Structure formats: C-alpha cells, structure tokens
Amino acid sequence: MQILPIKGIRGIIVLLTALFATACSAPTATPAVRDWNHNPAVVELDTKQDVYALGDIHGDYDTLVKLLEGAQIIPKIPARPEDIQWSAGKSILICTGDLIDRFDQSLQVIACLRALQDQAARAGGRVIITMGNHEAVFLATGGHDKVNAEFVGELKGAGISVKDVATGRDAGGIGKFLRNLPIAARMNDWFFCHAGNTHGLSIKELAEQIQTGVDTSGFAAPILSDPDSLIEARMHPRPWWEADSPEIKKIESRGNRSAAAEKNLRDSVAALGVKHLVFGHQPGEVTFADKTHRKADEIFGKFDGLIFMIDTGMSRGVDSSSGAILKIHQTDGALTVTTVSSEGKSQPLWHSIK
C-alpha cells in the first residue's frame, strides 16, 4: 500500500474540512420556483363592480379588521383571523403591500387575508394583494435585514422556520403565499402598486422585466430593490416624479418645474395604458412643486384623479391612525371615489362624469 506523504495527508484533511464546513453552512432548501403563468407579475382584470383599495397594514390585524367591517367588506370582526367572512359580493379588494413588520400581528394579518381571498372567490369577488418593499426585502435577504425584525420575531415566537418561509417551504404555506404575490395590478383604467414609480414602462414591459429580474436575481432584482423602483420609490425629499432627471430637465426648459413634473407623471401613467395610479408606501406629509400639500396619514388625490396615495399610517407600529379605505364606484355615466373610515363614514374624494 502506498503511503501518502505528510504534506498530501494534510492537504486532504484541509480539503475535507473545507468541504464539510461548506456542506454544513449551505442552505437546506432552495427557493421555490414561481410559476408566472399562474402567478403573473401584474394581475390584469376588468370589472363593473366596486373596487376597494387599502394601503400599508404593517402587522396591525386589529386595525385592519375594524376597517374592513366599517367598509362592509366583512360582516363582523371574527373570533379568529381564519374565520373571517366576506360580505362585499362581487367587489374587488386590493391591498398594495407591506402587510408585515412595524407591529406584532403580521401572522394574523396574513392568515386573515389568505382566508378572505378564499371567501371572496366563493362569492364571485376577489382579494388581490400586491407586494410591498417589506415582503420583497424579507424574501431577498431571508429575514436578515433589520427592516424585517418584527416579522422575524413573530415567526420565531411561533416556532416557524424563518428560512423555510423565505424559501417558500414552510408547512403552513406562508412563504409560498408571499413569494407568489403579484407586484402590481391593473383594474380597468386603474393601476395599483406599492410605491408607484414605473419609469414610463408599459405593463407588458414592466411584467417582463420583473419576471426576468426575479428569475435571475431573486427578489433582490434591481427592478424591485432599487431606491426608485415601483415598490421602493420615496416622496422625500421630493416626490419621485419631481426628482431631477434628463426628462424633467428637458421638459422644465420649456416651462416651470411644476408643469414639467406633472407632465412626467402623466406620461408615466399613460405609458401603462391607464388613467389613474394608486399607491401606498408613504404616510407622511408631502409638499408638491405646485405648493399644494398632503397631510400625514390621509388618503390623498391629485391632478384631477390621476394619482391617489393610500398609505394612512394605520399601524400602531407606524402612526396609529384609524386608517381609511379607498372605494371606487362606477356606473355607466359616472365614476365616484370616496374614502371609508372604520366607523363606516364615507367622504367624497373625486368625481368624474363620463
């Protein structure tokens, strides 16, 4: 038998040790593959029914169900999230992301909305939940970003593997639910997403870039993670459509900044093939280039129905407001947009005669 030299034996030991360490540190599960045919990046639907839109819930189940009851989307607050019922018939409810974090009821929020999706479908309605930046960051980092501290804490407290949820492998299906969320939705002439900035892309272009990006880079793909993306774009220090860009400067050279910014926004919305843009993500005060002002935590419409901001800071982990839901009601001759409070009070926001 040939005896290996000491140098060779040590080399083999080092090699085996490295391989063992790599095997021990490697993930035990790879992320679940997304079926884009069954779970498209952008959901598209036409309806004659009422459409409700709800902004950032941020882990506050109690405030969520009070709002849903006030808007008569559910008949009463259930004893358990899983027992929730649907009373809105064939209406559509759209939640524009950030279900999780900031407060400690994210698992209840997810359980409630998953059950409500099933209940709505049985009645001929639909609940559509688009992805927010908090969901995308969790899926991209496996819960290792501090922004997900509350959700990770909930999972660990419930004895649920954070890794299994992030990779879509947990037994309860929470991860699969999160990984299959659409990034945006088109409803008639309305486009819904978390932060609003689509960079002038068409819906087809946007969907293709999201699918390619996620397939290539996961949920850390630039189309989702960039600071100016459709789920990350901010309203501070100025709204994203007012930010300096070659397009803004070109338009601004022919007029004032306010007009240039508005045209930039209108062009972006028109590129989607819609007339209205609805987004959450920002509950704070905003002062626009034309000196108009949005107060913190209010649903706000601007540019004659072009955009609606629906993050009301409703979570007790954010601003503890009582929140509100946007309601879009259409008839053959008119379109009416109102806000509905948790007490069931409606306030007119915008009206258009066709």
Specify the amino acid at residue 76: K
Task: Burial-class residue 271 by CB neighbours within 10 Å (0-12, 13-18, 19+).
Answer: middle
pLDDT at 212: 96
Task: Report phi then psi at 97, rounded to 5.
Answer: 90, 175
Residue 128 bridge partners (DSSP): 94
CA distance 136 to 145: 11
Helix (H) or strand (E) holding 352: strand 346-353
Helix (H) or strand (E) holding 216: helix 203-217
Domain 42-353 bears CATH identifier 1.10.357.10:
no
CA distance 319 to 131: 21
Residues ≥6 apart with Cβ < 8 Å to 240? 195, 196, 197, 228, 233, 234
Specify the amino acid at residue 156: K
| Pick from 88, 92, 64: nearest CA to 77 | 64
Cβ atoms of 196 and 279 within 8 Å: the answer is yes
| Pick from 197, 163, 146: nearest CA to 307 | 197
Helix-strand-coil percent breakdown of the chain, rounded to 5?
35, 15, 45
**Ranges of the chain whose pLDDT falls below 50:** 1-7, 9-28
Task: Encode pLDDT of 83-134 as tens digits.
Answer: 999 999 999 999 999 999 999 999 999 999 999 999 999 999 999 999 999 9
Q: Report residue 343 as tokens.
A: 């007490």
Among residues of the chain, what percentage have pLDDT more than 90? 82
The rounded mean pLDDT for the chain is: 91
Q: In 3-state terms, what secondary structure has residue 218?
A: helix
Q: In 3-state terms, what secondary structure has residue 117?
A: helix
Instruction: Tell me which residue has tokens 């639909």.
Output: 126
Task: Report phi then psi at 165, rounded to 5.
Answer: -65, -45
pLDDT at 4: 37
CA distance 278 to 337: 12
Task: Encode pLDDT of 182-228 as tens digits.
Answer: 999 999 999 999 999 999 999 999 999 999 999 999 999 999 999 99
Task: Report phi then psi at 256, rounded to 5.
Answer: -80, 165
For the chain, what are the domain ranges? 42-353
| Pick from 67, 96, 262: nearest CA to 184 | 96
pLDDT at 255: 60
Q: Indicate the pairing of strand 92-95 with strand 126-129.
A: parallel
Q: Report residue 171 as tokens.
A: 């037994």
pLDDT at 109: 98
Peptide bond into 237 cis (omega under 30): yes
Instruction: Tell me which residue has tokens 């900031």.
Output: 102
pLDDT at 311: 98
Give the dihedral sign, CA 112/117/122/123.
positive
pLDDT at 281: 98
Helix 149-157 and helix 133-141: axis angle, to 10°?
60
pLDDT at 24: 41
Specify the amino acid at residue 205: E
Q: In 3-state terms, what secondary structure has residue 65?
A: helix
